[in-house]
């Protein structure tokens, strides 16, 4: 099996591009994150359209052309050592047909983000490059733990994450090993049937989401089942399912690991043989611990859960 390429570890003074490939952001929303990058000894380099705003039914961080320009600059500029998305939202699907990797292949770099950035990470993995599914530069409205960021910097410095979790009542026990794919469920679903979709065969799938009605969650899981995804993967990791259900009454569903959402997922996957982990701390949640998309992961699901890269 061909191994995916991990970018070189960063050293003090290296430059990290901060770009907005999807939704618009305000300067105040990135101040803490940018200062944190500096405090770690790296130099943040801001994309030309980082704070641009373009409204077209949604507040994008610039037109498609502006966002394409910024991401291709970040991917291919030889002085840049990593790329950190400012936020998710929506808009990365506009870019994926226009990504250029000519210089990137000569000097691969970590791409860091989650949510809508799942599209970019799927694209990079199709080309054989690993990326970091972790907190964006924008500190979320529900907050971000210090450790969520520290663990990203650990990966940038060459360390591989290891996690030990308490068992969840819906977990399916077992051991498995394979390449980790996935991210935001809505984007995994949106890419199905396209050439940018993940390759699911013998992979371990990670999913998380936010703000979906329960019927929409069921629809997405049903689509994965109809596409034969659950007969092809070797394991499933379920992260945050936040603010799910009826938005008119979402006080009932403010938990990061919504139990009813978990039940819906369990109903779809319980008949399959692969091990399943519920409650992994990654997603639209405060404790958003990074995963490596394209990394080889070992899952040991017993009374305790061990996940190691």
Among this protein's residues, is 133 annotated catalytic? no
Q: Where are the alpha helices (DSSP H) in the chain?
A: 27-39, 64-76, 92-95, 118-126, 146-156, 185-191, 214-226, 259-269
**Which residues lie below 8 Å from residue 97, measured CB to CB, with a gap of 6+?**
none
> The tokens 């840049």 sit on which residue?
80
The active-site residue out of 49, 133, 168, 284 is 284
> The tokens 């692969």 sit on which residue?
274
Residue 3: CB atoms within 10 Å:
11
Q: Which two tokens stand for residue 120?
A: 């970019």
Question: Do residues 264 and 213 lie in contact, with contact meaning Cβ atoms separated by under 8 Å?
Answer: no
**Closest to 224 in 3D by CA, of 272, 180, 177, 257:** 272
The active-site residue out of 49, 81, 208, 212 is 208
Expressed in angstroms, the distance from the first to the final Cα of the chain is 16
Among this protein's residues, is 208 annotated catalytic? yes
Compute the distance between CA of residue 87 and CA of residue 137 in angstroms, rounded to an integer: 7
Among this protein's residues, is 35 annotated catalytic? no
Compute the distance between CA of residue 100 and CA of residue 201 in angstroms, rounded to an integer: 26
Question: Do residues 172 and 276 lie in contact, with contact meaning Cβ atoms separated by under 8 Å?
Answer: yes
Compute the distance between CA of residue 156 and CA of residue 150 in angstroms, rounded to an integer: 10
The active-site residue out of 115, 122, 131, 148 is 115
Beta-sheet pairing, 15-19 with 43-46: parallel
Compute the distance between CA of residue 284 and CA of residue 142 in angstroms, rounded to an integer: 8
Show which residues are catalytic. 115, 208, 284
């Amino acid at each position: 099996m061909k191994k995916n390429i991990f970018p070189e570890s960063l050293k003090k003074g290296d430059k990290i591009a901060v770009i907005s490939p999807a939704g618009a952001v305000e300067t105040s929303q990135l101040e803490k994150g940018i200062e944190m990058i500096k405090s770690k000894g790296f130099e943040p380099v801001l994309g030309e359209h980082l704070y641009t705003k373009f409204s077209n039914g949604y507040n994008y961080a610039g037109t498609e052309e502006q966002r394409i320009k910024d991401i291709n600059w970040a991917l291919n500029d030889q002085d840049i050592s990593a790329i950190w998305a400012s936020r998710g939202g929506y808009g990365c699907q506009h870019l994926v047909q226009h990504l250029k990797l000519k210089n990137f292949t000569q000097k691969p770099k970590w791409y860091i983000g989650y949510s809508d950035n799942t599209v970019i990470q799927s694209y990079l993995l199709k080309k054989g490059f690993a990326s970091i599914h972790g907190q964006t530069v924008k500190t979320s409205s529900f907050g971000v733990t210090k450790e969520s960021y520290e663990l990203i910097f650990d990966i940038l410095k060459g360390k591989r994450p290891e996690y030990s979790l308490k068992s969840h009542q819906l977990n399916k026990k077992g051991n498995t090993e394979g390449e980790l794919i996935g991210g935001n469920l809505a984007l995994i679903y949106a890419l199905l049937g396209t050439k940018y979709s993940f390759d699911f065969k013998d992979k371990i799938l990670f999913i998380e989401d936010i703000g979906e009605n329960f019927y929409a969650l069921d629809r997405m899981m049903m689509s994965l089942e109809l596409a034969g995804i659950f007969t092809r993967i070797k394991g499933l990791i379920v992260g945050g399912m936040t603010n799910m259900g009826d938005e008119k009454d979402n006080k009932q569903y403010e938990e990061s690991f919504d139990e009813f959402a978990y039940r819906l997922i369990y109903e779809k996957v319980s008949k399959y043989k692969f091990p399943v982990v519920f409650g992994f701390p990654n997603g639209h949640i405060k404790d958003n611990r990074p995963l490596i998309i394209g990394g080889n992961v070992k899952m040991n699901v017993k009374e305790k859960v061990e996940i190691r890269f």
